[in-house]
């Protein structure tokens, strides 16, 4: 056996050969190997095992972790032949992700920050959000679930959090990844009430144990502030408000004349009301309603707004559902545009990774055409910078936030 085979045998449990002409994405550092790209496997890797990925004729491409029950059969973590996927690798990646936020001045125990953003930090399958002195961890890959102890040890060593909670198992993940991870306390103590975080001079209560996702939408932090800059003197409608971030920012930072925030979830409504109160946003009211019904009924009553914010949940779960999702985006955006007075501002978001920026802007263009209004794109924004995107895996660039003036 040649020497390099001995070395690589020690670093992996199996060798996966990629079909001819299917290796290009992995040379391009894309981290997901789907089953359809695999020619054959030498060895019988258990789920979570380290495997080497090689060309059909045996040249090293990358090293990753195997999951027999996932559509993403291998997640790649290194493209360097002598880098082992051991505890040191995991600790180093975690340290790098945390120190990036620290060096950008984003980490403070008074506020919230995404510390690890999955592929964006070359840690496919791990998300860590920090709220004050607590951490909320979301795991979307089996191999990372098996390494929870190392991940928690690293985070404890680096940050000494009061507690680490496992949160936000995504719908359908069990089926996709063979992963069943109910929410639970991983380390330290459980917060006995909301955690308060600062955001651009405002304060928000975060429900870490029962809130949506990991408790709060950190990705929209800069977009809430950007939207608020247009709110002065306007009557604002904040649709899909969750904990009220856009509404509070518009009312307090933006000096809106009034804000109506709407969400269909009763828990979201009470969070948004509590956050309005916490910031003394007396011009903001919060209602429980279905967005489509509320938008239509406001329209029927002839109500007009100076600014409409639309931040719906993910409409497209996959590329296959993208066209249905685009129709739903069209519908709410049309309803939103119809409620705007001339010169009004539409802040419209999509968190569906399966909808591209171009598809989203084309949808908005069609809305303008159908409604007989001219739409001017003032800003097209993405997620906050603690959500870096891996340029080799653009699937991670999911959030779009367009700020549009409607004539």
241 interacts with ligand SAH by CB under 6 A? yes
- What distance in Å separates the CA atoms of residue 175 and residue 220, rounded to the nearest whole number? 29
- What distance in Å separates the CA atoms of residue 354 and residue 319, rounded to the nearest whole number? 5
First to last CA, the chain: 72
Residue 144 or 241 having the CB closest to ligand SAH: 241
Smallest gap from residue 197 Cβ to ligand SAH (A): 12
Smallest gap from residue 169 Cβ to ligand SAH (A): 17
Among the listed residues 113, 351, 393, 401, the single catalytic one is 351
- Tokens 């990753």, residue located: 64
311 interacts with ligand SAH by CB under 6 A? yes
Looking only at the bridges linking them, the beta strands covering 50-54 and 14-18 are: parallel
Using CA of residue 54, residue 59, residue 60, residue 61, what is the dihedral sign?
negative
Q: At what angle do helices 148-159 and 87-103 cross, to 10 degrees?
A: 40
> Which of 40-48, 100-108, 186-194, 242-250 is the region at the interface with ligand SAH (rule: CB under 6 A)?
242-250
The CA radius of gyration of the chain, in Å to the nearest whole number, is 23
Residue 120 or 247 having the CB closest to ligand SAH: 247
236 interacts with ligand SAH by CB under 6 A? no
User: How many amino acids of this chain bind ligand SAH (CB under 6 A)?
Assistant: 18
245 interacts with ligand SAH by CB under 6 A? yes
Residue 161 or 244 having the CB closest to ligand SAH: 244
Q: CA dihedral in degrees (28, 29, 34, 38; nearest 10)?
A: 70
Smallest gap from residue 355 Cβ to ligand SAH (A): 15
131 interacts with ligand SAH by CB under 6 A? no
Number of Cβ atoms within 10 Å of the Cβ of 192: 6
Smallest gap from residue 243 Cβ to ligand SAH (A): 5
204 interacts with ligand SAH by CB under 6 A? no
How many whole angstroms from its chain centre is CA 6? 40
Residue 215 contacts residue 208 (beta carbons within 8 Å): yes
Active site residue 351: yes
Residue 268 or 337 having the CB closest to ligand SAH: 268
3-state helix, strand, coil in the chain (%, to 5): 35, 30, 35
Smallest gap from residue 229 Cβ to ligand SAH (A): 16
Q: Is 135 helix (H, G, I), strand (E, B) or coil?
A: strand
From residue 43, alpha-carbon distances to 34, 141, 340, 343 in Å are 18, 22, 62, 64
- What distance in Å separates the CA atoms of residue 288 and residue 270, rounded to the nearest whole number? 9
194 interacts with ligand SAH by CB under 6 A? no
Smallest gap from residue 383 Cβ to ligand SAH (A): 12
> Which of 26-34, 237-245, 340-348, 355-363 is the region at the interface with ligand SAH (rule: CB under 6 A)?
237-245
Residues 259-298 that bind ligand SAH (CB under 6 A): 263-265, 268, 290-291
From residue 303, alpha-carbon distances to 223, 320, 336, 341 in Å are 25, 36, 11, 9
Smallest gap from residue 103 Cβ to ligand SAH (A): 26
315 interacts with ligand SAH by CB under 6 A? no
Smallest gap from residue 269 Cβ to ligand SAH (A): 9
Per the structure block, which two tokens stand in for 195?
Answer: 């955690």
Residue 70 or 220 having the CB closest to ligand SAH: 220
- What distance in Å separates the CA atoms of residue 55 and residue 24, rounded to the nearest whole number? 10
Q: Which of 313, 369, 374, 391 binds ligand SAH (CB under 6 A)?
A: 313
246 interacts with ligand SAH by CB under 6 A? yes
> Which of 49-57, 238-246, 362-370, 392-400 is the region at the interface with ligand SAH (rule: CB under 6 A)?
238-246
Per the structure block, which two tokens stand in for 370?
Answer: 């159908």
Per the structure block, which two tokens stand in for 159?
Answer: 């940050």
Q: Which of 70, 117, 130, 243 binds ligand SAH (CB under 6 A)?
A: 243
Instruction: Please report, as ranges, the residues that interact with ligand SAH according to CB under 6 A.
Output: 212, 217, 220, 240-243, 245-246, 263-265, 268, 290-291, 311-313
Which residues are marked as active site? 351
């Amino acid at each position: 056996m040649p020497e390099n085979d001995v070395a690589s045998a020690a670093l992996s449990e199996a060798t996966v050969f990629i079909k001819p002409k299917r290796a290009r994405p992995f040379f391009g550092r894309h981290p997901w190997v789907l089953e359809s790209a695999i020619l054959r496997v030498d060895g019988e890797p258990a789920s979570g095992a380290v495997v080497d990925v090689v060309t059909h004729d045996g040249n090293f491409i990358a090293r990753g972790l195997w999951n027999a029950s996932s559509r993403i059969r291998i997640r790649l973590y290194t493209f360097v032949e002598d880098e082992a996927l051991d505890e040191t690798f995991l600790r180093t990646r975690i340290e790098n992700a945390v120190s990036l936020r620290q060096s950008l001045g984003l980490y403070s125990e008074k506020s919230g920050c995404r510390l690890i953003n999955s592929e964006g930090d070359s840690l496919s399958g791990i998300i860590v959000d920090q709220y004050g002195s607590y951490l909320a961890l979301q795991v979307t890959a089996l191999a990372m679930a098996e390494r929870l102890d190392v991940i928690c040890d690293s985070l404890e060593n680096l940050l000494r959090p009061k507690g680490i909670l496992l949160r936000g198992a995504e719908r359908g993940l069990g089926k996709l990844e063979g992963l069943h991870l109910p929410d639970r306390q991983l380390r330290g103590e459980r917060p006995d009430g909301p955690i308060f975080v600062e955001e651009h001079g405002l304060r928000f209560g975060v429900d870490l144990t029962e809130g949506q996702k990991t408790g709060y939408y950190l990705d929209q932090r800069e977009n809430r502030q950007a939207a608020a800059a247009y709110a002065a003197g306007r009557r604002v409608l904040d649709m899909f408000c969750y904990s009220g971030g856009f509404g509070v920012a518009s009312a307090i930072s933006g000096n809106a004349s009034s804000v109506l925030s709407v969400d269909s979830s009763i828990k979201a409504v009470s969070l948004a009301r509590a956050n309005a109160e916490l910031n003394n946003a007396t011009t903001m009211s919060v209602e429980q309603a279905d967005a489509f019904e509320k938008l239509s009924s406001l329209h029927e009553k002839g109500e007009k707004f100076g600014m409409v914010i639309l931040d719906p949940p993910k409409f497209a779960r996959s590329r296959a559902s993208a066209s249905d999702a685009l129709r739903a985006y069209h519908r709410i955006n049309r309803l939103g545009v119809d409620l705007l007075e001339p010169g009004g501002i539409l802040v419209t978001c999509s968190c569906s990774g399966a909808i591209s920026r171009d598809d989203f802007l084309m949808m908005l263009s069609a809305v303008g055409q159908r409604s007989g209004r001219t739409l001017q794109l003032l800003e097209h924004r993405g997620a906050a910078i603690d959500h870096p995107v891996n340029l080799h895996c653009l699937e991670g660039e999911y959030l779009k936030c367009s700020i549009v003036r409607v004539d």
